[in-house]
Structure 1
Amino acid sequence: MTEPMNIPAELRDWSVRWPEYAPVDITPKELLPQALAREVPVWAEEAATPAAVTDWPQRQDYALVRFECDARSWPLHPAGRTGHTGRNLGRWGENRAVDPIVIANAGPAQRLLLVTRDDNHQEAAPGGMVNPDETDEEALLRELFEETGLDLRRYRPIILGRDLVDDHRQSDHAWVASTSALFVLPTVVPVTAADDALDATWYPADSMTELETAISAAGRTLFAAHRPLIARALAHLAQK
């Protein structure tokens, strides 16, 4: 991954003029115009640039996190300049994801379900991208089942937030926003890692400190982008 240019805090907002801004293009070879003209990956849209997208008003209305478009009708990252341009995600603009957080034995003995990601080998909540033909709630259940074997259709998820994700693939014109939801189980149940999860583990999680200590003791690392999501879930349970 090419490192983005440094973005001073005072220049991050799109309303601030910065004529010298020169973001790094992170488009992989399979999403370059010449490659898309030959074959479009199943996980990506065919538009080589945002100019080829014709439904920006609809995408803005559907977005989890509000975003604006520039004078060219190109989408602008809601958090401002990223130092990256191009697209390393399936869609231009917002790419919708889900992050189901599963906790069992709520209380002092509670456990949190994490999977080991196959891309960075870090511990993370199960999850992934929402398919075009499904709701966020359907995607939460599907991702859980695909990565851990858990069928939680009889449980009602508690929606904790709909937020931007600090994803390494984001750019000025393509980013990830996720619905995070909490599932509370009465007890720990068997899980089996599958799909893009290398392992699935129940970790002690009475607090973030206990969780991170347990992950470190296992010789693993917590995926930084999911830390605030997990912390919010634990805080929600602590208030009950």
Structure 2
Amino acid sequence: MSEYTPEDITPPELQPSALTQHVPDWAEAAATPADVTDWPKRQAQALIPFTLDKQGWPMHPHGRTGRVGRNLGKWGENAAADPIVVAGTGDQRRVLLITRSDIGVEAIPGGMVDPGETAPMALVRELREETGVDLADHQPVILGRDLVDDWRNSDQAWVASTSAIYQLDATVTAVAASDADDATWYPFGDLDQLDAAITAAGRTLYTAHRPLLQRALDHLAK
């Protein structure tokens, strides 16, 4: 059996020595999962069930990732919210995507659920913060709760998202803001059309969001 040699992806600011000096406002202070005291609560609230290993550390629900450590706010599951905003119908149907400032790809506007916040609240907040679009008075349809193939995932920390679709009669003005370099309405007849439009713009679609966008298309086809 080959030896498992995962990469430690913990950034400098989350190294144990750094956390003793300063804890980033987006992260918990626990240097390792052993420092977390509420695992039963986290497991009970998780979108995707997960277990702990023999030393009491969380294990990614899908198994080994090839990465260890933490490059996310919390050990274990990090809840996110992804609002998929669709406008128009037929040939005029469009979907609102942002250019992520961290990895430079086209993605659903969204982000982490803040402490004390519900997923519906996070959907509205993230959309407003990243695109300036306020849909607080719109009722979305929850599409699913899924693990996300996020580039920051590790064996001990990962992202699980609540995705929801908002349907508008027509596009509205969107302006890139927090965590976004651009906000664009793209043709959304199917994923091939979306891919073609994004490629034509010299950009790339975030691979982890493809299943979420396909689920939105499936919902629209009903």
> Structure 2 residue aligned with 1:130, among 113, 117, 128?
113
1:30 maps to 2:13: yes
Q: What is the match of residue 32 of structure 2?
A: 49
Which AA in structure 2 matches 1:179?
A: T
SS in 1 for 2:176: coil
Which AA in structure 1 matches 2:137?
A: R
1:60 maps to 2:32: no
Deviations 1:65-101 (A, max 9, x none): 0000011111000000111111111100000101100
> Structure 2 residue aligned with 1:100, among 83, 86, 90?
83
Offset of residue 19 of structure 1: 8.0
Q: 2:5 & 2:192 partners in 1: Cα distance?
A: 40
1:211 maps to 2:194: yes
Calculate the TM-score normalised by the size of structure 2.
0.97
Q: What is the match of residue 14 of structure 1?
A: none
Show structure 2 runs of 5+ residues with no match: none
Between the two proteins, what is the percent identity of the paired residues?
A: 62
Give the length in aligned residue pairs: 222
1:237 maps to 2:217: no
Deviations 1:189-225 (A, max 9, x none): 1111111111111111111111111111111111111
1:223 maps to 2:200: no
Q: What is the match of residue 103 of structure 2?
A: 120
Calculate the TM-score normalised by the size of structure 1.
0.90
Q: 1:105 & 1:232 partners in 2: Cα distance?
A: 18
Which AA in structure 2 matches 1:193?
A: A
Which AA in structure 2 matches 1:76?
A: M
| Mean Cα deviation higher: 217-226 or 21-30 | 21-30
Show structure 1 runs of 5+ residues with no match: 1-17
Runs (4+) of structure 1 moved beyond 3 Å? none
The answer on whether the counterparts of 1:106 and 1:237 sit within 8 Å (CA) in structure 2 is no
Deviations 1:97-156 (A, max 9, x none): 011000000333200101111112111110000000210000000000001111101111
Deviations 1:4-27 (A, max 9, x none): xxxxxxxxxxxxxx6832222111
Which AA in structure 2 matches 1:189?
A: V
1:77 maps to 2:77: no
> Structure 2 residue aligned with 1:163, among 135, 146, 153?
146
1:184 maps to 2:182: no
SS in 2 for 1:144: helix
User: RMSD across aligned C-alpha pairs, in angstroms?
Assistant: 1.1
Q: 1:101 & 1:138 partners in 2: Cα distance?
A: 14
SS in 2 for 1:42: coil
Which AA in structure 2 matches 1:128?
A: G
Change (3 A) 1:213 1:19: closer
Q: 1:177 & 1:203 partners in 2: Cα distance?
A: 25
Q: 1:112 & 1:212 partners in 2: Cα distance?
A: 12
Q: 1:174 & 1:215 partners in 2: Cα distance?
A: 30
Q: 2:198 & 2:4 partners in 1: Cα distance?
A: 40
